[in-house]
A and B are shown apart, each in its own frame.
Chain A
Amino acid sequence: MTKDDCKKLVLDIIADIAPDEDLTNVRPDVRLRDQLQLDSMDFLDIVMELRKRHGIEVPEADYLQLASLDSCAEYLTPKFNALPARG
């Protein structure tokens, strides 16, 4: 998985948890909370959906790593690539 693939997966999750938001121009280097209507419960949704959809665990101490799409990609891409192959 590339970092761009990872960003796409995170955006897919955000599209479901914030269905009123226009995600076409989300800037990857800007904090998600500064450009979208997301609160702390929404970030817990992101954590939950990563767990449910992809088997990725994000411990509470690492929540800050989900601040922007870029930081998500930095933090999550190695986790995705470390997952055992499915199938």
Chain B
Amino acid sequence: MQPSRIVITGVGLTAPNGNSLAEFRRHLLTGVAGIERIDVRYMGSQLAGVCHYDALRYQTRKELRVGTRAGSISIYCAREALADTGVSLETLPKDRVGIYIGCTEHGNVETENEVYNISKFNYDTKFWSHYHNPRTVANNAAGETSLNLGTTGPAYTIGAACAAGNMGLIHASQMLRLGEVDFALCGGVSESIHTFGIFAGFKSQNALAMHAEPARASRPFDRARNGIVISEGGCLYTLERLEDARARGARIYAEIAGYHVNSDASDYVLPNPQRQAECVRAALARAGLAPAGIHIVNTHATATPLGDIQECEAIRAVFGEGCPDTHINNTKSFIGHTMGAAGALELAGNLPSFDDLTVHPTINVDDLDPQCALPGLVLNQPRPVARVDTILNNSFGMLGINSTLIVRRFVP
């Protein structure tokens, strides 16, 4: 039996340079980055991508006080996605809605806050918050979203380091095909700029970006790149089986064409180009596509000196020569690394290419690293193209998790 076709019918997002798909896309095509300086506990001024969405649009002040930033970002994105696809919560069978949210990590922000809080009371744990456990459970973002929406189907997070955003979509596709749910909200979120630990950790790895001009700090493929800009963000999609989407006359953004997830099994932090290439090839095989059939490759590249080269090695191995219609870009150059949201947000940034036939560029490449000089790289200026029917989105994470997701233009 043929598995159901799965389609994307709605998008809700908040990125450091936009709080809707239209605004995000406009900024990706006009070179507007979203990086600024923030004060990080114990570390002082640091570069970060900060989201400026209206948190009170869908939550009360009390909900914001009790909940987490990850929960708030998820709720905003979920509500925006539902509004975008025109589905009312009143008409959805609430027990048939699944919420699948990718997270790089969760609980660091809340735990650091509590340790800091009790430090003001001589580390007496009787001042430790009674909200600590609901705030730090791994399913927090999805659970807060189900509370806000009143949906009673499965709602949980998927921990997959920085591959998590893609994983949200992949897992939702699987659950829809299995018939576990009829409607899915899925993607990824990150609140990571609110923990000093991630900044300190990357700094200790010599992998934290530094630059005098914030907007120019995230520079994948540039010879002067010096690390990651840490960002928060979120992007949730509504996913449905094609027959359900058509029955209600939904607008269809794209169809899930293929995906693959694998593991390096080689290092805690260093990527493995061979496994990355295997992941991309397996996703292509599932989609029934040859490399030359991919029109946009959105890279994971985070602007670490080694990581970018290794991903380029993997892409070169798969796409190499003979793919004249394959264009390669990177969204982190605008918004930094949104961690668990990255895969989902970066896919969203490219989805409008099906309509506007333009590939957004990788910005901040003043001096292309020869080891990253892939054919088809779109640098600094958007590129109008004749055809965009397929987008391949890479997201890789620590402990060697790789994910590749391919979407195609919807053709009935």
**Set of chain B residues within 8 Å of A18, measured between Cβ atoms:** 62
Q: Is the CB of A48 within 8 A of B130?
A: yes
| Nearest residue, chain A, Cβ from B65 | A19
Q: Is the CB of B60 within 8 A of A20?
A: yes
**Set of chain A residues within 8 Å of B131, measured between Cβ atoms:** 41
Is A51's beta carbon under 8 Å from chain B? yes
Q: Is the CB of B61 within 8 A of A48?
A: no
C-alpha spacing A48/B127, complex, angstroms: 7
Q: Is the CB of B65 within 8 A of A51?
A: no
C-alpha spacing A51/B127, complex, angstroms: 8
Q: Is the CB of B130 within 8 A of A41?
A: yes
Is B357's beta carbon under 8 Å from chain A? no
Q: State which residues 36-92 of B face A: CB under 8 Å.
A: 60-62, 65-66
Is B121's beta carbon under 8 Å from chain A? yes
The 8 A CB mask of A1-36 against B (1 = contact, 0 = none) is 000000000000000011110000000000000000
Interface size of B in residues (CB-CB distance below 8 Å): 11
Is B129's beta carbon under 8 Å from chain A? yes
C-alpha spacing A41/B60, complex, angstroms: 16
Is A64's beta carbon under 8 Å from chain B? no
Q: Is the CB of A48 within 8 A of B62?
A: no
CB contact under 8 A between A41 and B66, given known A48-B130, A52-B127: yes
Q: State which residues 171-215 of B face A: CB under 8 Å.
A: none
Is B126's beta carbon under 8 Å from chain A? yes
**Set of chain B residues within 8 Å of A17, measured between Cβ atoms:** 62, 65
C-alpha spacing A18/B126, complex, angstroms: 22
C-alpha spacing A18/B131, complex, angstroms: 15
C-alpha spacing A47/B127, complex, angstroms: 10
**Set of chain B residues within 8 Å of A52, measured between Cβ atoms:** 121, 127
Q: Is the CB of B129 within 8 A of A48?
A: yes
The 8 A CB mask of B281-309 against A (1 = contact, 0 = none) is 00000000000000000000000000000
**Set of chain A residues within 8 Å of B127, measured between Cβ atoms:** 48, 51-52
The 8 A CB mask of B100-131 against A (1 = contact, 0 = none) is 00000000000000000000010000110111
**Set of chain A residues within 8 Å of B66, measured between Cβ atoms:** 41
CB-contact partner of B130 in A19, A20, A37, A44, under 8 A:
A44
**Set of chain B residues within 8 Å of A37, measured between Cβ atoms:** 62
C-alpha spacing A17/B129, complex, angstroms: 13
**Set of chain B residues within 8 Å of A51, measured between Cβ atoms:** 126-127
CB-contact partner of B61 in A20, A41, A44, A45, under 8 A:
A20
The 8 A CB mask of A41-83 against B (1 = contact, 0 = none) is 1001100100110000000000000000000000000000000
C-alpha spacing A66/B62, complex, angstroms: 20
Least CB distance from A41 to B in Å reads 6
| Nearest residue, chain B, Cβ from A16 | B65
C-alpha spacing A37/B61, complex, angstroms: 13
Please give the residue numbers on chain A whose beta carbons come within 8 Å of chain B beta carbons, in ascending order: 17-20, 37, 41, 44-45, 48, 51-52
Q: What would 16 A/B residue contacts be, using CB atoms closer than 8 Å?
A: A17-B65, A18-B62, A19-B60, A19-B61, A19-B65, A20-B60, A41-B66, A41-B130, A44-B130, A45-B130, A48-B127, A48-B129, A48-B130, A51-B126, A51-B127, A52-B121
12 other contacts beyond A48-B129, A51-B126, with CB at 8 A cut-off?
A: A17-B65, A18-B62, A19-B60, A19-B61, A19-B62, A20-B60, A37-B62, A45-B130, A48-B130, A51-B127, A52-B121, A52-B127
